[in-house]
Structure 1
Amino acid sequence: MEKDKGILSIDGEAAKAEDEKQPDPIDGGKSDQADKGKVNPAHTSENGESVSESPVIIKEDYSRYFDGINGCAVFYNSRANTFHIYQEEMASVRVSPCSTFKVISTLIGLEEGLVDSEESRMGYDGTIYENTTWNQDLNLKEAFQKSCVWYYRKLLDQVGEEKVKKWVDALDYGNCDISQWKGDGSVNGGAEELNGFWLESSLEISAREQTEVLARIFDGNTEFQEKYVSMLRDMMKTEDEDTCGIEIYGKTGTGQNGNHADAWYVGMTVDGEETNYFAVRLAAAKESRITGADAKNIALRIIHK
């Protein structure tokens, strides 16, 4: 197709007993309400496999961090099998992952051998994009951090729909629906190289599911090789141990569907040996101009509280 010039990018970038609450992964136990019932910690089956019991859901009030913006937040400690959730109903609603799916695309590209390091480059074809950082050859790390859609569109096309579907199914990623492989043309001016199943199209996932997928990946419970998971982790690094001693890793995402806008920030925090996975999602009218950067700022405020 003839490529549009100056395309605006939408996605250029988120009880041990009944009377004893699980500690908040961020503030050490300042939660407002926990589901009733005892914790059933994970145990080991007869064949040596870990058996997961029902998780503990602790309802949080993070409204003061959202400044009136409609949104939800999930923090998941997989070792304790405990979720801290703000706006539980919203956190269970599936929507497009937008650019947060680059976390998965990166691993798939590495595992399938289409890229082999952070320095793996793809050539720029000369199309002028509104996001000027895309108007050049980019390597994998640059494309991830600049959230370059054309790079990842090209990467996934080289992997192929059948293999991508295999990985999405193995991860149990939301609804696992990549049937609109090329997207529906509703974003980024309809440009083919800026549309895809992960951009306001067929693939959808909830905030809670985002944290569960991240836990499977970074806890080593997938078929992705550790060297590639480690490479991805380095690309996701957001902050060093500076203000609060917590390392933060994440990926933003922004999308518009008609008059509706979604913004994501998903990732994990590492504090010593303690890891917590998180997802913050915002939802508002298109005119609000919310972005993944807004979701990120809210997540960081919660983490640093």
Structure 2
Amino acid sequence: MSLVCVSCGPSDRLTRTDPEELRTYFDAYDAVGTIVVRKDNTGEQLVYNPERAERAFLPASTFKIFNSSVALDTGVIGVDDVIKWDGVQRDFPGWNQDRNMRDAFKYSVVWFYQELARRVGAQRMQAALQRERYGNASIAGGIDQFWLRGGLRISALQQIDFLQRLHRRELGFQESTMRTVEEIMLIEKCADYTLRGKTGWKDQLGWLVGWVETDADTFYFAMNLESTDSDFPMVAARRAIVDGVLRHLNIMSAQCD
């Protein structure tokens, strides 16, 4: 049953919306997926495809949120410190140059974050993962591979929990660390909302996780999807689905002013 409330605010739409209304955003790309949206103040949440929301997947580059946090907190790097490019030509031009964390996060530079993980080391990384209850906390597969093709798994619901504790400064990292990570997560700052988050992509699995800050409240979201189409437009689909859902719920406006 669809409950339409055109004039409702985001809190009303979150509680009045039938989750199945959100199927259309995934069907538009012939994709299977889930999205969870949670209101910070009350904890109310809307879950499309709850069975999948509980399933754990490789975090892929969404792990850069955690990796940035532990690297800054252990002091192995500062947010503006530059790591020299190793000279290996990779598929994305933005990866083939020296980078600091701000740019490496923005352009999702894998080699940069692999180097951070090596600097942190297995012992400190494992301890931080277990302390923060990040997914299954596995580093199987190697210190510079575990979130890309190794043993680490996390569900959409677990992503939401982690993001909420980050934004609320409830993680075991220093407050300055969490503030800096929040800053580099900025995607879009508009007149009536601020969007922060991180994408992830591994084979046919895509992620987009983060939160939206509005005058009314903060709304966390975690979306993942899969497609069997080898030519699937992952970059466009992830953002279109999340934007569509958040606008459907009146959390984000149609245009960024």
User: If the length of structure 2 is used for normalisation, what is the TM-score?
Assistant: 0.87
Q: How far is 1:288 from its partner?
A: 4.1
For 1:97, the equivalent position in structure 2 comes to 59
Paired residues of 1:263 and 1:294 also in contact (CA < 8 A): no
- Which amino acid letter does the alignment assign opposite residue 81 of structure 2? S
Q: How far is 1:289 from its partner?
A: 3.0
Could you say if the C-alpha distance between residues 60 and 115 of structure 1 is closer, same or farther in structure 2, counting changes exceeding 3 Å?
A: farther
Q: How far is 1:284 from its partner?
A: 1.5
Q: CA RMSD in A?
A: 1.8
Correspondences of 1:146-161 after superposition (within 5 Å): 146-161=107-122
- Which amino acid letter does the alignment assign opposite residue 226 of structure 1? E
Distance 1:144 1:28 in 2: 30
Q: Aligned pair 1:223/2:172, yes or no?
A: yes
Q: Aligned pair 1:81/2:49, yes or no?
A: no
Correspondences of 1:1-305 after superposition (within 5 Å): 25=11, 27=13, 29-32=15-18, 59-66=19-26, 67=28, 68-117=30-79, 119-182=80-143, 196-242=145-191, 245-256=192-203, 261-272=204-215, 274-285=217-228, 287-305=230-248
Structure 2 residues without counterparts, runs of 5 or longer: 1-8, 249-257
Q: Greater helix percent: which structure?
A: 2
Per-residue CA distance 1:210-262 (angstroms, 9 max, x = gap):
001111111111111222211111111111124xx121101000001xxxx10
The secondary structure found in structure 1 opposite 2:151 is coil
- Which amino acid letter does the alignment assign opposite residue 142 of structure 1? D
Paired residues of 1:124 and 1:135 also in contact (CA < 8 A): yes
Paired residues of 1:181 and 1:196 also in contact (CA < 8 A): yes
Instruction: State how many pairs are aligned.
Output: 238
- Identity of matched residues, %: 27
Distance 1:174 1:25 in 2: 28
Paired residues of 2:160 and 2:222 also in contact (CA < 8 A): yes
The secondary structure found in structure 1 opposite 2:16 is coil
Distance 1:80 1:288 in 2: 40
Q: How far is 1:200 from its partner?
A: 3.0
Could you say if the C-alpha distance between residues 241 and 26 of structure 1 is closer, same or farther in structure 2, counting changes exceeding 3 Å?
A: farther
User: If the length of structure 1 is used for normalisation, what is the TM-score?
Assistant: 0.74
Distance 1:207 1:116 in 2: 29
The secondary structure found in structure 2 opposite 1:27 is helix
